[in-house]
Amino acid sequence: MDLSLWMSSLMALLTPEVIAFNLFGVVVGLIIGALPGLSATMAIAILTPITFWFEPQCGFAMLIGVWNAAIFAGGISAILINTPGTPASIVSTFDGYRMFKQGKGGLALGLNVLYSAFGGILSTIFLIFLSFQIAKFTVTFGPTEYFMLAFFGLIMMISVSENNVIKGMAMGFLGLTISCVGIDPILASKRFTMDTTALVAGVSFLPAMIGMFGIGEILNQIFEFSKKKEAEANAQIELVKKGGNLGRVLPTWTQVKQFFRPTLIAGTESTIIGAIPAAGGDIASIICWGQAKRMSKHPEEYGNGSPEGFAVSCTANNGVLGGALTTMLTLGIPGDAVTAILIGSLMMYGMQPGPKMFTEHADFVMQIMQLMLLSNLVFVVIGLLSAKLSARILNAKPQTIWVSVIALCVVGSYALNNSFSDVLIMAFFGIAGFFFKRGKYPAGPFILGLLLGGMLESNLRRALVMSHGSLMIFLERPVTLVLCVMILLTLFYPLIKKKLKGKRFY
């Protein structure tokens, strides 16, 4: 790592504008993450088009602030009402809610802030020291390697698609099919445009993503809404209000020393897990929490209000972020749904994630790393100061949230290109996203297929031109051969496992 480049990037970053945007992003992420039903993916999908009007540093300061804060804030509702605000906070309900019922709610909220930041900072340190080395290795990649990498990223997303490989494959290939709309990348001829100028440039990724993750989710919440569920939620919030004194927020020095080893291991493990495409915070939390329980001197306390177990799950929540960002920046493959959106954001600014970004935009890569560190420090301060006021976030009426999100989706889609066609695309994919959600068809593989489709097709066709049509070119290079084996193992292992257990595939 170039120290002079690091310092110059840092000085360019520490401006009032960038810090203000980052602070705004952290506050928005805290609110969205704490509200059950909303997610970091939805927030970033909605806000990404708006950032187009700002400088890249300011836009990414807001997006990264939202990302880091929303993941940690998911633990707030997990602690107070036993409902995870984000999927990554599912494991936080195991110990967090029980700590609250035991009168340790303040400590749980404090641990959630401190150890989420610890996991985020630790994973960012790995990102800082490893990403440039990985980029140096991948800079020699050609069309064959890029095709296999993109295909591997898509297969990894499919393989963990709600434990349904067939539906995940169907959604992934549907996304690939729609990515073919527009101009042929090799011959420059029109394809599947239906003689409509709005589709000449292809189906716009961002409006489709906003529709899937924003409108689709809101329509599903409206469909499932009932007075009974609203009454149950209000009863839980009233219980929080009557909880009175939540107790101390900061852990003791003895607890800090006790938690250091298991949280350090969890932070390292979650960074590695986060680097695997599609393995998000929920998977990392489950793995790290289970591993820590097996290694603990008091495993019987895990799941019954263990502060140590809760600290481990919080560390794993945010520990995946640095790993996911490493994969995204160095290989151009999203580690999760949020980094898939961030790829679209970088492309919006004319930057292509991958090895070349570390040479052509090395200063901005440095700034992304620095923004990760800054976001964690900012949400520590805000999180600790607002720990005992967190219950007020849960008072928002669902109807208010729905209207606000729909308005932001419409404005964000239109503002990207000042095009009403993008709004129609957003609405179409919003309705499609609703039906996919009702049918339990995962949206992640579809969006990833739409995003990676151009990269897959163009590099496949270039590789076949180089080999005069022979597919053996994908087995002649060591990297592509290894990736090919990994793809086959990833794709067929779940099917074989289910077959051995006598389960159906659908």
At 498, the amino acid letter reads K
From residue 92, give the alpha-carbon distance in Å to each of 4, 70, 86, 250, 307.
41, 14, 10, 18, 10
Q: pTM for the full model?
A: 0.69
Q: How many CB atoms lie within 10 A of CB 174?
A: 17
Nearest to 64 by CA among 90, 78, 43, 85: 43
Question: What DSSP assignment string belongs to 190-252?
Answer: EES-TT-GGGTT-S-HHHHHHIIIIIHHHHHHHHH--HHHHHHHHHHHHHHHTT------SPP
**Confidence at residue 20, expressed as pLDDT on a 0 to 100 scale:** 92
Can you say whether the dihedral through the CA atoms of 498, 499, 503, 506 is positive or negative?
A: positive
> Quick one: pLDDT at residue 505?
44
- pLDDT for 506 equals 46
Q: Report domain extents, the chain.
A: 3-502
- Rounded (to 5) percent helix, strand, coil in the chain: 75, 0, 20
Q: Which residues of the chain have pLDDT under 70?
A: 1-2, 36-38, 81-85, 87, 135-140, 153, 156-164, 226-247, 276-283, 335-336, 388, 390-396, 415-417, 490-491, 493-506
Condensed to tens digits (0 to 9), the pLDDT of residues 425-464 reads 889 988 998 998 888 887 777 877 887 787 788 888 888 8
Q: Name the token pair of 238.
A: 């009233």
pLDDT at 448: 73
Any idea which residue has 């994969």 for tokens? Answer: 327
